[in-house]
Amino acid sequence: MMAAGMTACGSQAQQQTAAPPADSSSAPTEISIPANSSGVQTIVLANKSVPDYLEIPGRVEPDPTKVIRVYPPLGGRVTSVEVRPGDHVHRGQVIAVLDSSDIVAARSDYQKVRTDAELKARALERAADLYQHKAIAEKDYQQAVADDQTAKSELDRAQTQLKVLGASPEGAMDRLAVTAPRDAVVLDIGAAPGEFSKSLDAPAPLYTLADLSTVWVLGDVYEKDIVGVKAGDRAEITVSAYPGQTLEGRVGNVGDAIDPVTHALRLRVVLPNPGEKLKPEMFASIRVLRATLNGIQVPTSALLRESGGVFVFVQKSPGHFEKRAVTTARAVGSDVEITQGLQAGETVVTEGALLVRAAS
């Protein structure tokens, strides 16, 4: 009997030893806390419209149709530079002064053609009187008329030349004032006092001006993103210089030719620029709405991260919660799209998820 007892005890011990250990991974994920606990808030999930945005890096540039490169109308030595980059100038404001012998030549040409025009006008008067009294032939009178008209045309040309140069016909100095052709901002200066400017033959303009009341924001759309982006689409612009501010515009143009180097199309958004806060060469981000889809969204405060995964707490009943892994996608403002793990109609903890986790 003693042997039988020892045998029974031995077999019982073997059964206890052979029992497999409990699998920690199968431990329940449900957590219970007192119902209506302070600091825990929930929402009922529903399908929402999830915007599908395309984010495009971009930069600010002046409107090329409003960029003016100012060249002096005549060659000469720069004697003074009146403005600096960043200055605002007004139409007609003197921005540089040159000494140019061409001014003297233009005035001399004007004086010559004016004297010739006066002589031709008096000759026409005499010819008209003689022709009226039959003292000269008709062809002589017609020649006098033609000479008078030619002299007047030459005088108009000389006057226009001086007007373009901004020089007075009666002046005596060889100084030329270069003026701003419109209200604008000085972007760059291409000369300094003492340098000799060769007018239109100069390698760089004397000044580069731009009207920044409107600007372009340019970005590159890659081939894989072309579908769904078209002219007229609403666009949101943000710049790092003004965090938290979003500027709204519309896509003005999407290029027709793909750049052979970047394999992208150039996208352009035209923006009004009150106060000229947007400066050329600023970095910007362009966000274009491509489509609107239906999906589940939760506030970012509902998400918790643990061991490289993302999970939320789903309320099964008052005071009872289930820890559930989810798959996230795009951020939509303060919410995040959930593509897997949740369904419409479920209740999720949005505030106090850390308190629920502490109770686990």
Provide the residue ranges of all domains of the chain, joining segments of one domain with +: 28-48+294-358, 54-65+211-292, 76-99+174-210, 101-173
Q: Residue 178 CB: number of other CB atoms within 10 A?
A: 24
Q: If you count them, how many residues does the chain have? A: 360
DSSP 105: H
Q: Side-chain half-sphere of 10: how many Cα atoms within 13 Å?
A: 6
The span from the CA of 94 to the CA of 87, in Å, is: 13
**What percent of the chain is helix, strand and coil (3-state, nearest 5)?**
30, 40, 35
Percent with pLDDT over 70 in the chain: 90
User: Both ends of the chain: CA-CA distance in Å?
Assistant: 51
State the chain's mean pLDDT as an integer: 84
Look at residue 21 and tell me whether its pLDDT is greater than 50.
no
Candidate from 91-100, 105-114, 119-128, 286-295 with smallest mean pLDDT: 286-295
DSSP 297: E
Hunting for tokens 């022709």 — which residue is that? 131
DSSP 64: G
* Helix axes 138-165 and 101-132, enclosed angle (nearest 10): 160
The span from the CA of 162 to the CA of 107, in Å, is: 7
What local confidence, expressed as pLDDT, does residue 171 receive? 67
Dihedrals phi, psi of 107, to nearest 5 degrees: -70, -40
What is the CATH code for 54-65+211-292? 2.40.30.170
Candidate from 31-40, 45-54, 125-134, 308-317 with smallest mean pLDDT: 31-40
What local confidence, expressed as pLDDT, does residue 54 receive? 87
Q: How confident is the model at residue 226 (pLDDT cuts 50, 70, 90)?
A: confident
What local confidence, expressed as pLDDT, does residue 359 receive? 75
The span from the CA of 31 to the CA of 40, in Å, is: 13
141 vs 101, residue with greater confidence? 141
The span from the CA of 73 to the CA of 165, in Å, is: 6
The span from the CA of 351 to the CA of 224, in Å, is: 39
Most confident of 5-19, 165-179, 320-334: 320-334
Q: Residue 177 CB: number of other CB atoms within 10 A?
A: 15
Which tokens belong to 306?
């643990």
Q: Do 143 and 151 form a contact (C-beta atoms < 8 A)?
A: no
Task: Name the architecture of domain 76-99+174-210.
Answer: Beta Barrel (2.40)
The mean pLDDT of 277-285, rounded to a whole number, is: 94
Percent with pLDDT over 90 in the chain: 37
Candidate from 49-53, 158-162, 267-271, 336-340 with smallest mean pLDDT: 49-53
The mean pLDDT of 128-150, rounded to a whole number, is: 91
The span from the CA of 289 to the CA of 46, in Å, is: 22
DSSP reduced 3-state for 314: strand
Q: Residue 8 CB: number of other CB atoms within 10 A?
A: 10
Burial class from Cβ neighbours inside 10 Å (0-12, 13-18, 19+) for residue 71 reads middle
Look at residue 101 and tell me whether its pLDDT is greater than 90.
no
One fold for 28-48+294-358 and 54-65+211-292: no
Most confident of 20-29, 94-103, 108-117, 171-180: 108-117
The span from the CA of 77 to the CA of 114, in Å, is: 29
Closest CA to 324 of 336, 316, 312: 312
Beta bridge partners of residue 67, listed in sequence order: 210
Residue type, 51: P
Which tokens belong to 155?
């005088």
Give the CATH class of 28-48+294-358: mainly beta
Distances (CA, A) of 64 to 198, 208, 212, 254, 281: 25, 12, 10, 17, 13
The mean pLDDT of 45-72, rounded to a whole number, is: 89
What local confidence, expressed as pLDDT, does residue 145 receive? 93
The span from the CA of 277 to the CA of 348, in Å, is: 43
Q: How confident is the model at residue 200 (pLDDT cuts 50, 70, 90)?
A: low
Distances (CA, A) of 88 to 31, 80, 93, 171, 210: 67, 18, 10, 30, 10
Candidate from 111-120, 133-142, 192-201, 342-351 with smallest mean pLDDT: 192-201
What local confidence, expressed as pLDDT, does residue 20 receive? 40
What local confidence, expressed as pLDDT, does residue 262 receive? 85
CATH homologous superfamily of 101-173 equals Helix hairpin bin (1.10.287.470)
Q: How confident is the model at residue 59 (pLDDT cuts 50, 70, 90)?
A: very high
What local confidence, expressed as pLDDT, does residue 172 receive? 63
Q: How far is CA 43 from the centre of its chain?
A: 39
What local confidence, expressed as pLDDT, does residue 357 receive? 83
173 vs 307, residue with greater confidence? 307
The span from the CA of 115 to the CA of 119, in Å, is: 6
Look at residue 192 and tell me whether its pLDDT is greater than 70.
yes
What local confidence, expressed as pLDDT, does residue 16 receive? 38
